[in-house]
Structure formats: C-alpha cells, structure tokens
C-alpha cells in the first residue's frame, strides 16, 4: 500500500532540466512522471554532411507533426549518411520512446553515449527511459554518470533521489534530494520548488510529517500543486465548514448529495482561473465527501487515470464518476464510472486547455472518444 501511495504522490514532481537550450516532453507511465529531452542541431556540433543534415531536418519536422514512423525513417537515413551524428542518435532514441519501443530507445541512447561519452543529455534521457521501464537501478547508474561529468549538476542528484524514492529507499533518497536542493538554492534555480517538493515527499513517506509539511509548504509557496490526499492530511484547517463538520453518518452524506453535484457542476462550468478561493473550498468539500461516502467508491487505475500531474483533472475525474453514480444510483458499475470520469476530464480539459497546457495523456483519450473506442479501452484496462 505504501508503494502505491508513493506512485500517486510522485506524479506531481517536475524533473529539472539540464543547463542547455533543449526542448522537453513530459512522459507519464504508471503514474510516474519523467522528462525526455529533445536535442537540437548544434548541441554537439551537428554534422558536416549536408545530406545528413537534410535528413535530420526532415525527421525533426515529422517528429513535430507526431508522424513518428516517418521521423524514425529519416533519422535512420541521417545516421546511415553520418554514423557519428550524435543528435540524430539522441532524437532516434526519443522517437523509439514515443513508439514505446523502449529497448531500441535504450540502444540508440547508448550509441550516442558511445560516440560522445560526456553527453549529459543522452545519459539523462536514458535514465528517464529506464524509469519508464521501472529499472530504477539502471536509472541511478545514468544519473551517477552525469555527476561524474558534471559534479555540481543538481539534475544528477535529483534523478538519483527520485529513483531511490521509487525503490522505497528513503534515506538514500533524502540525502540526494537535499544535495539537489542545495545546488538549486546556490544558483537560485527556478527548479527550487521541485527540490522542496522532493524533500517534502520523501519525508512524508519516511513518516516525518513535521518536516514534510515544512518543505511541502515551501514548495506550495513556489507554485507547486500538492496531491489532494497529502494536501488534505497535512494542510486541512482544523476549523472546517459546517457541511464538513456534519459529514459523520450515512444520513449526513445523503443529505449533501445535491451539494456535491452542484459543486461539481460549478467546477466544470467556471473557468479554472476564476474565483480560486471558492474553487479551493469546493474542492476541499468534494474531496472529503467523496473519500468518506458510504455509497460511492472510486477506484483510480493507473492505466486510465494517466494524467496525475494535473490535480484539477484528477478532481474532475472523481467528480464525474461521483455525479454519474449519484444520478443513476448505479454505484457498482466500474466501467460506467470510469467512463463518466474520463469524459468529464475530456470536457474540462477542452474548456480550460489554454490554462492547463497540452496534456498528451488526455489528448489520447480525446482521440479514443472521437473514434468511439473510449469505452472499449476502459473495459480492457480496469
């Protein structure tokens, strides 16, 4: 159980970035967030071959259009033309990762490292792929390689801390997380909030709630979003609203069913940046009602709720499931509950996409819904 909670909590951590000019893509697998870095021509000196450069540029164009098979084809042409074209190997690793061919992604990142052993970006991306595969020990090896190249790079310590946390080796995780945070603070990095959050999470899972709250509060002050479960446990005020105080018996929960539906409807129709105080109050009430309800039981599948980095989206999934259950009185239908929750997230995301930013996991569900395959997907992944 502790491991499962850990996976939920970690999804709100954002990986820091290397001190290069790079594009990045966030990847969430089984609830774990990793960040893949995309190289650009010129990072390692590029190529002297105009033909290889032409293939590379065409591959990059296909990659930006998410035509990954053609991108793969042209990156392969680029490295066939210039077998030392490091950027092409890096981006080929990225393409194979997107195609979920992780073994080939590892192969090409290793080839990049073979050509240019000091390529920190390739080591970081390789570590991220190992993280996706849950091979955290191999990920640690790659982060340690980064530190051998650049001893004061906070990303090496941060990645090691993250990997040890996933292995539930919290003492080792905390040592490395504090080193990363110290380096972030020394350079006044905009990733300081990530460092506070990592240290806070590790303390939380170690059972040190006092230090967890201290560091997580500093992370919140830097704009971090805390997982609702942790937020409720550590930061809920003692003085609760009248409704919350009365949620004690089965009859109390039944009495507020209409308020739950109305609260969900308000969250859906109101732009995410509007009335933040009221939104926070409604979220707090809904979380308490949904987690304590004797009738509504929500199960979060890591294969369906693949957007745990979006706290508001998670709330709308739970709210959509709850609304369906209350209005239909169909409390045990997991398929319909997951479907209602997912459709709720899709609607909320489309209404607030400009504020939320693009989320590839939710975009995938939009495509499934458009193709009338969403319910089939949910049935096969419960």
Task: Using the 3D structure, point to which of 223, 254, 276 is the last residue of a domain.
Answer: 223
Pair 68, 174 in one domain: yes
330-344 pLDDT, tens per residue?
989 999 999 999 999
Q: What are the pLDDT digits (tens) for 305-330? A: 998 888 899 999 999 999 999 999 99
DSSP output for 211-263: HHHHHHHHHHHTTPPPPHHHHHHHH--SS--HHHHTTTSHHHHHHTHHHHHHH
The pLDDT value given to residue 225: 83
Q: What is the pLDDT of residues 360-381, one digit of tens each?
A: 999 999 999 999 999 999 999 8
Residue 213 scores a pLDDT above 80: yes
Task: Supply 149's token pair.
Answer: 């190249």
- 351's enclosing H/E stretch is helix 334-351
Query: Is 346 part of any domain?
Result: yes
Task: Please tell me whether residues 244 and 179 are part of one structural domain.
Answer: no
Q: Give yes or no: residues 190 and 249 share one domain.
A: no
> In this structure, what token pair is assigned to residue 376?
């089939």
- Residue 107's domain spans which residues? 2-223
Question: In this structure, are 208 and 241 located in the same domain?
Answer: no
Are residues 193 and 257 both part of a single domain?
Answer: no
Confidence of residue 267 (pLDDT cuts 50, 70, 90): very high
- Would the pLDDT of 235 be above 50? yes
Choose the final residue of a domain: 223, 255, 275.
Answer: 223
Same-domain status, 108 and 82: yes
pLDDT at 27 (0 to 100): 52
Looking at residues 248-258, what average pLDDT do you find? 87
User: Could you tell me if residue 228 is inside a domain?
Assistant: no
Q: What is the CATH number of the domain that holds 21?
A: 1.25.40.10
> pLDDT tens digits, residue range 133-171?
999 999 999 999 999 999 999 999 999 999 999 898 999
Which of 197, 223, 249 corresponds to the end of one domain?
223
**Tally of structural domains, the chain:** 2
Asked if 253 and 350 sit in the same domain, the reply is: yes
Tokens of residue 20, six digits: 């290069």
Q: Is residue 79 part of a domain?
A: yes
Q: Shortest CA distance to 153 belongs to which of 129, 120, 130?
A: 120
pLDDT digits (tens, 9 = 90+) for 24-78: 455 554 444 444 444 444 456 789 999 999 999 999 999 999 999 999 999 999 9
Same domain, 131 and 23: yes
């Amino acid at each position: 159980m502790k491991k499962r909670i850990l996976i939920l909590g970690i999804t709100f951590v954002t990986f820091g970035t290397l001190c290069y000019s790079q594009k990045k893509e966030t990847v969430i697998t089984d609830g774990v967030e990793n960040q893949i870095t995309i190289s650009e021509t010129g990072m390692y000196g590029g190529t002297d071959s105009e033909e290889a450069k032409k293939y590379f540029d065409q591959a990059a164009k296909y990659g930006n259009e998410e035509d990954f098979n053609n991108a793969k084809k042209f990156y392969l042409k680029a490295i066939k033309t210039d077998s030392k074209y490091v950027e092409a190997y890096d981006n080929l690793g990225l393409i194979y990762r997107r195609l979920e061919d992780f073994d080939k992604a590892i192969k090409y990142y290793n080839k990049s490292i073979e050509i240019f052993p000091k390529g920190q970006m390739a080591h970081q991306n390789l570590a991220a792929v190992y993280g996706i595969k849950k091979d955290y020990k191999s990920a640690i090896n790659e982060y340690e390689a980064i530190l051998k190249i650049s001893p004061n790079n906070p990303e090496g310590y941060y990645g090691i801390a993250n990997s040890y946390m996933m292995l539930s080796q919290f003492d080792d995780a905390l040592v490395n997380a504090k080193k990363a945070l110290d380096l972030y603070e020394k350079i006044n990095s905009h990733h300081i909030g990530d460092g506070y959050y990592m240290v806070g999470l590790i303390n939380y899972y170690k059972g040190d709630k006092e230090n967890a709250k201290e560091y997580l509060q500093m992370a919140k002050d830097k704009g971090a979003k805390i997982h609702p479960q942790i937020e409720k446990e550590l930061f809920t005020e003692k003085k609760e609203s009248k409704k919350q105080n009365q949620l004690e018996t089965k009859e109390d929960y039944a009495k507020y069913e209409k308020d739950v539906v109305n609260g969900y409807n308000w969250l859906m129709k109101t732009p995410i940046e509007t009335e933040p105080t009221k939104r926070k109050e409604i979220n707090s009430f809904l979380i308490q009602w949904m987690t304590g309800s004797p009738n509504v039981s929500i199960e979060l599948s890591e294969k369906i709720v693949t957007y745990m980095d979006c706290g508001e989206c998670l709330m709308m999934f739970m709210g959509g499931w709850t609304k369906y259950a209350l209005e239909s009185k169909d409390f045990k239908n997991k398929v319909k509950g997951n479907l209602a929750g997912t459709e709720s997230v899709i609607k909320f995301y489309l209404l607030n996409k400009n504020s939320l930013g693009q989320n590839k996991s939710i975009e995938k569900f939009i495509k499934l819904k458009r193709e009338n395959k969403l319910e089939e997907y949910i049935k096969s992944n419960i």
